[in-house]
Structure 1
Amino acid sequence: MLRTALQAGVGCLPRRAASGGAVSSPQAGRRALSSLQEALIKVTFIDAEGDRETVSALPGQNIFEVAEKHEIALDGPCRGKAGAVQSRNSESWTEDLFGQGPVCASCHVMLTKEFTGKIEPPLDSEISLLERKGELYAPGSSRLGCQVKLSRDLDGITVFIPDGPPVG
């Protein structure tokens, strides 16, 4: 519904009653939608065959959630929420939060150097999962899609999916 309204450029915000607040006009609706469009982050996924798809995402979503929403083949059976995850509390202190982190490396993606410097570095727990990918693991580029939260700084990010889920 939102995608259709955004593409059509029509306001879809409800009008308020004259007694309680301002009545939104079609122009106000278009301005609100324009603001939403400006907040969206463009993410380009490239699969192992070289096929590209650019989609929109909201700040705060992670790469796995965006791929899932747009039906892009990125496996993630644990959904990034089954095992322990480390929380970085300071430069020298991390703590394990159980039941809140990934237990697999199925949502392995690779990011370009242009964007890896704009995200938090992976914690040890993520690196140990990525190392299971063997020769597909590229330190500095490999990440788990479920662990990379999107922000405005990542607008235009390119995400390479080196090994998709089995087909058949």
Structure 2
Amino acid sequence: PIFPEEKVRSSTWTEPLYGSGAGSGFDHVLLQGNHEGVKALDPPQSNELKQLNVYWDEDEVFPESRLASQVEINDKMDGMVVYVPDRIVDDIP
């Protein structure tokens, strides 16, 4: 499922912003939480959190969980450890 980012335009109008934000939850990574580069990142948007919770079980999502496609790499991340969890089984008929 794709959950587009939404922009609240007024109390009665919320516009879906297709093409913005995370497109799926398959690119889940765990970032080294106390690393200086991670602290410099913007927090995850609601769309990213929705994708993580839809694609991954509750016991597989942690405070350090992010979608790789939503992480903007910065020079402070040099030497940071990134854990890539086992892939979601998506080829079962």
TM over 0.5: yes
Secondary structure, counterpart of 1:109 in structure 2: strand
Q: How does 1:4-153 map to 2 (within 5 A)?
A: 84-85=4-5, 97-115=17-35, 116-132=38-54, 133-134=56-57, 135-138=59-62, 140-153=63-76
Identity value in percent: 27
- Contact kept? 2:30, 2:83, Cα under 8 Å: yes
Q: CA deviation at 1:97?
A: 2.9
Q: 2 CA distance for matches of 1:119 and 1:86?
A: 21
Q: Distance in 2 between matches of 1:156 and 1:86?
A: 35
Structure 1: give runs of 5+ residues left out of the alignment: 1-81, 88-94
Query: In the superposition, relative to structure 1, how do residues 124 and 83 fare at CA in structure 2: closer, same or farther (>3 Å)?
Result: closer
Any gaps of 5 or more consecutive residues in structure 2? 8-14
> In 1, are the aligned partners of 2:29 and 2:84 still within 8 Å (CA)?
yes
| CA–CA separation in structure 1 for the residues paired with 2:44 and 2:16 | 14
Which structure has the greater CA radius of gyration?
A: 1
More helix by share: 1
Q: Hey, which bits of structure 1, 4+ residues long, moved more than 6 A?
A: none
8 Å Cα contact 1:83/1:103 also seen in 2: yes
Q: CA RMSD in A?
A: 2.6
Matched, 1:158 2:81: yes
Partner of 1:11: none
In structure 2, distance between residues paired with 1:83 and 1:100: 10
Residues 96-141 of structure 1, C-alpha deviations (whole Å, 9 max, x = no match): 5322332321000001112332211101111111112111111x20
Give the whole-Å Cα distance in 2 for the aligned partners of 1:111 and 1:148.
10
CA pair 161-151 structure 1, distance change in 2 beyond 3 A = same
